[in-house]
Structure 1
Amino acid sequence: MTRSAILAVFLAFTVTNPAQMAFAETPQVPESRAEIQLSFSPIVKETSPSVVNIYASRVVEERLSPFADDPFFSQFFRSGPARQRVQRSLGSGVIVSGDGLVVSNYHVVGEASDIRVVLSDKREYKGEVILADKDADVAVLRLDGASDLPALPLADSDALEVGDLVLAIGNPFGVGQTVSSGIVSGLARSGSAIPGGAGSYIQTDAAINPGNSGGALVDMSGRLVGINTSILSRSGGSNGIGFAIPANLVREFTRQAEAGQTRFIHPWSGVSTQSVDDAVAEALGLDRPEGVVLSELHPQSSFATLGLTAGDVLLSLDDQPILSPSDLEYRLSILPVGASVKLSALRAGEPVELDLSLIAAPGSESIDRVEITSSGPLGGLVVADLTPALIDEYGLALMSEGVVLLDAQGPSARLGLRPGDRIVEVNGTEIRTTKDLQSVARQKIGMWLITFERGGRLLRMRVK
């Protein structure tokens, strides 16, 4: 066909199809108000009254000498009484119960002596922390005299998917309540790059800044999906990488607070695990990396009673995949002690479905505290024989044994020992029980050599 013939066909088509020409050239006009004004404002109006501003203060002691808390150098640098100052913090919180329960971060209110909570309608209440956990960075407050407050419903955070739209509501930099939008950027985040390190966080690119801590991360149905807690930033401002504590953990904290618990009780795993990567998967004969592999099991662990041993792989808990060691601990934390859940695992290389009983760490019910009453430098130490509950509380190695320090009073307060230190040896005598320490403490000698463990390191100090 010649060029002239092709041109004739094209012109004939355009003349005989004017509707198509009009469609191609004329943009569509919005036909409704909803199409003209797309906005998050209905969700904001519904949820923002449930987000509060928190003003907290506490009295802290400042040591004039940098060696004041050092277990060795403190005996040479006596700085006298510490100087006190008031430390103030600003954050946010979320009303989760109409009768005055508010959830925030531990780092906002956990150690505060005075807490003032201001609602979006300018009402003010005095707040009191009734349940808190530093490791989880969650605190539950009770507002004095509050009732009929606008509580925010909690979503199932396990139903979140990457790409879901979310709003972050809080009080950044104290400028007043602010809303930022974004998406869920990632799920089950953990690791050394994340402030706090532990946990299983929701990652979002909704702007989170200082003051947003404890505020709400809400979905497009106006439900709480997370409590904003930290950001990854070199400048201190939002870099588009923020983290939130999942609502399912908030739900368990709220349940325990309403039940009158003053200390968060979570099921105890009693195991040490590591992630399964390509190398580990190949060594275990797995088709692909999945789950976590058991490396250590405490004899009293529920996992051990099921016949699981080191080298077995945990795949899922309560039908949710176990993505990392911290994700396993999170999965346990959102479940109540006493429940039984389905565990999928590879035991000796074979897939099994097991019923796992969730127990509290043995020793949680009571602690056998022993005070050293001798006149020597150890006088005033309050110690206890190690139990799984104390190992869990102080973050000690899973198989730790011996004696742990609970408090130091009297003469021993000057030694620089801290709660959670494990007393290993005194004057060449191994300390296995509190009775061993009581016996050694009665010695009448001029120089004492004390060996203790702190943060996985063995330290020694001499005391006259």
Structure 2
Amino acid sequence: MIKGKWILFCLCILLSLQAHAALPDRETPVVLAVRSVAPAVVNISAAYTETRHRRGFGDPFFDEFFRDFFEGSPGMRQQRTSLGSGVIIDGERGYVLTNAHVVARGETITVTLENGSELPALLVGADTESDLAVLRIESDTALPQAPMGVSHDLMIGETVIAIGNPFGFSHTVTTGVISATNRHVRSNRQVFKRFIQTDASINPGNSGGPLLNIRGELIGINTAIHARAQGIGFAIPIDRARRIAKDLIEHGMVIPLWAGLRIQEMDRGLADYLGKGEVQGLLVREVEKDSPASGAGIRPGDVLAAMDGQPVTKITDYREHLEMLMPETPVRLDLLRKGRSLTLSMTPRSFPMERAAALPEKLMGIQAAEQPGTPHGVVLTEVRKNSALDRAGVRPGDRIRSLGEREITSLSDLHAALIRHRMDREVSLRIQRGNRIYTLTLPLES
């Protein structure tokens, strides 16, 4: 009996030693990556007040009566909370990167760390067009931060890891692979471009959380779910997110890079007219004085064929390539000039704000001013005769309430919106006259 117990005891010891010896084999790269980055992943709670007005009884007459009768009344105020995730990108200064829609309506924002600590957060800046926002939290000690990776060299099929707060379950880890890159995703209001597509499970509450590679490096910000399918999630590439976060931290808004080029898409008719046959690319119409383009030696009449080796055939190709660059980063341009190929290097820089004041007149044919005591919109003081707005019936005294996705409350808002949309063919406007608000699409002038 004693001998049998001794054998059993030795067997238990042996199995225990084998289990401990096998532990390093179980520490896969995924385990190591999660262990390293998880402390930098946060849960975000944004509280806001929603006002609900009383409704009628389903009858159009009563609905209209109640709407008119209670217009301007406080209605029923209810406290709401939106939940999401975020990742600390600067532990020394306390900067957190997340989605703009997570904090869009937040009156108070609270960040919860992995250890359960709750810290109030301030919104540094948000950009609805990219769906990115930066928060700042205060801490007595340096916070953990996620190491930055790159997204320009992602490989289809490589393993990725998502960490977030789906359905309120904090620090949930899912894994998958990169299914595709450069995906365009349409939401209710706009099209988001060049997303990473992954089959890692991304559910409500994951928005704003990190997408990691197998090394534990931040390669994307999880942001969207395809509503009609399972196993499809999307993330904003970190190369773009890093650039936008830098602008939000330094300026509170995104300042698009400036090259100083006015370009036009080539079609068959234009190519034949210019004698360029089947050449594809973008025709340089104008080079602004003292701009990065003029300094690089680009001339009107040149055809821009590629940027950093990537063909450009549409203005969106040109614009999206600039959006991926960090300020003061050189870009290689392949050009055609009078039938000859040449390569130039240009270094775009942030759009000079001193040039922004001329954009309303240049692009829209208007002069505008802020009206003291009026928090909504800027007032048009002059509308150029025969301009697109003049032909649309807009006149002095009307107010611009929004341009594109940006609400306009000041001249600086108007300038920032025009800087962002200056290369677009057209832009949407909300114009207020008296108590009525109209929406129109405005073609921008060259």
Distance 1:277 1:223 in 2: 42
Distance 1:201 1:356 in 2: 26
| 1:180-329 equivalent positions in 2, closer than 5 A | 180-190=174-184, 192=186, 196-234=190-228, 239-256=230-247, 260-268=250-258, 285=277, 293=282, 305=294, 306-309=298-301, 312-317=303-308, 325-326=315-316, 328-329=318-319
Q: 3-state SS of the aligned residue for 1:58? A: strand
Distance 1:361 1:131 in 2: 18
Q: 1:332 to 1:325 in 2, by over 3 A?
A: same
One-letter amino acid matched to 1:239: Q
1:112 matched residue in structure 2: 106
- List per-residue Cα deviations over 1:153-177 (Å, max 9, x = no partner): 1012112122221111111111222
Is residue 437 from structure 1 mapped to residue 396 from structure 2 by the alignment? yes
Q: CA deviation at 1:438?
A: 7.1
- Residues 261 and 286 in structure 2, CA contact (< 8 A), matched pair in contact too: yes
One-letter amino acid matched to 2:365: E
2:80 matched residue in structure 1: 87
- List per-residue Cα deviations over 1:321-371 (Å, max 9, x = no partner): 658654543432343445543222345664332233424445x34876xxx
Q: 3-state SS of the aligned residue for 1:332? A: helix
- Residues 110 and 129 in structure 1, CA contact (< 8 A), matched pair in contact too: no
- Residues 284 and 299 in structure 2, CA contact (< 8 A), matched pair in contact too: no
Q: 3-state SS of the aligned residue for 1:173? A: helix
Is residue 333 from structure 1 mapped to residue 318 from structure 2 by the alignment? no
- Residues 264 and 285 in structure 2, CA contact (< 8 A), matched pair in contact too: no
1:54 matched residue in structure 2: 44
Q: CA deviation at 1:147?
A: 2.8
Q: CA deviation at 1:122?
A: 0.8
Is residue 41 from structure 1 mapped to residue 31 from structure 2 by the alignment? yes
- Residues 389 and 442 in structure 2, CA contact (< 8 A), matched pair in contact too: no
Q: Which moved more, 1:83-92 or 1:274-283?
A: 274-283
Q: 1:307 to 1:48 in 2, by over 3 A?
A: same
- Residues 64 and 82 in structure 1, CA contact (< 8 A), matched pair in contact too: no
Q: CA deviation at 1:270?
A: 6.6
Distance 1:209 1:275 in 2: 40
Q: CA deviation at 1:36?
A: 6.6
- Residues 431 and 437 in structure 1, CA contact (< 8 A), matched pair in contact too: no
Q: 3-state SS of the aligned residue for 1:307? A: coil
Q: CA deviation at 1:194?
A: 9.5
One-letter amino acid matched to 2:42: V
- Residues 302 and 357 in structure 1, CA contact (< 8 A), matched pair in contact too: no
| 1:136-175 equivalent positions in 2, closer than 5 A | 136-175=130-169
- Residues 271 and 301 in structure 1, CA contact (< 8 A), matched pair in contact too: no
1:386 matched residue in structure 2: 360
Q: 1:279 to 1:101 in 2, by over 3 A?
A: farther
- List per-residue Cα deviations over 1:213-235 (Å, max 9, x = no partner): 1000000111000111112223x
Q: 3-state SS of the aligned residue for 1:188? A: strand
- Residues 423 and 452 in structure 1, CA contact (< 8 A), matched pair in contact too: no
Out of 323, 333, 336, the residue aligned to residue 343 of structure 1 is: 333
Percent of pairs with identical residues = 29
Q: 1:89 to 1:336 in 2, by over 3 A?
A: same
Please give the TM-score of this superposition, normalised by the length of structure 2. 0.66
Out of 341, 366, 369, the residue aligned to residue 402 of structure 1 is: 366
One-letter amino acid matched to 1:243: F
**Structure 1 unaligned spans of 5+:** 1-31, 67-72, 369-383, 389-398, 440-447, 459-464
Q: 3-state SS of the aligned residue for 1:239? A: coil
1:24 matched residue in structure 2: none
1:16 matched residue in structure 2: none
Distance 1:450 1:429 in 2: 23
Q: 1:438 to 1:196 in 2, by over 3 A?
A: closer
Q: 1:211 to 1:405 in 2, by over 3 A?
A: farther
Please give the TM-score of this superposition, normalised by the length of structure 1. 0.64
Distance 1:365 1:160 in 2: 38
- Residues 422 and 452 in structure 1, CA contact (< 8 A), matched pair in contact too: no
2:418 matched residue in structure 1: none
Distance 2:381 2:194 in 1: 29
Q: CA deviation at 1:202?
A: 1.5
1:127 matched residue in structure 2: 121
Distance 1:110 1:85 in 2: 17
- Residues 156 and 177 in structure 2, CA contact (< 8 A), matched pair in contact too: yes
Distance 2:27 2:355 in 1: 57
**Structure 2 unaligned spans of 5+:** 1-20, 57-63, 399-432
Rg larger for: 1
Q: 3-state SS of the aligned residue for 1:136? A: coil
Q: 1:329 to 1:429 in 2, by over 3 A?
A: closer
Q: 3-state SS of the aligned residue for 1:252? A: helix
Q: 3-state SS of the aligned residue for 2:88? A: strand
- List per-residue Cα deviations over 1:57-107 (Å, max 9, x = no partner): 2235556699xxxxxx9xx95722354543321100001112211100111
Q: 1:423 to 1:438 in 2, by over 3 A?
A: closer
- Residues 292 and 349 in structure 2, CA contact (< 8 A), matched pair in contact too: no
Q: CA deviation at 1:406?
A: 6.5
Q: 3-state SS of the aligned residue for 1:183? A: strand
- List per-residue Cα deviations over 1:90-141 (Å, max 9, x = no partner): 1000011122111001111244221100111111111111132221211111
2:441 matched residue in structure 1: 456
- What CA RMSD, in Å, does the superposition of the two structures yield over aligned residues? 4.8
Distance 2:105 2:354 in 1: 24
Q: Which is richer in helix?
A: 2
- Residues 132 and 263 in structure 1, CA contact (< 8 A), matched pair in contact too: yes
Q: 3-state SS of the aligned residue for 2:252? A: coil
Q: CA deviation at 1:242?
A: 1.7
Distance 1:423 1:81 in 2: 35
Distance 2:440 2:39 in 1: 43
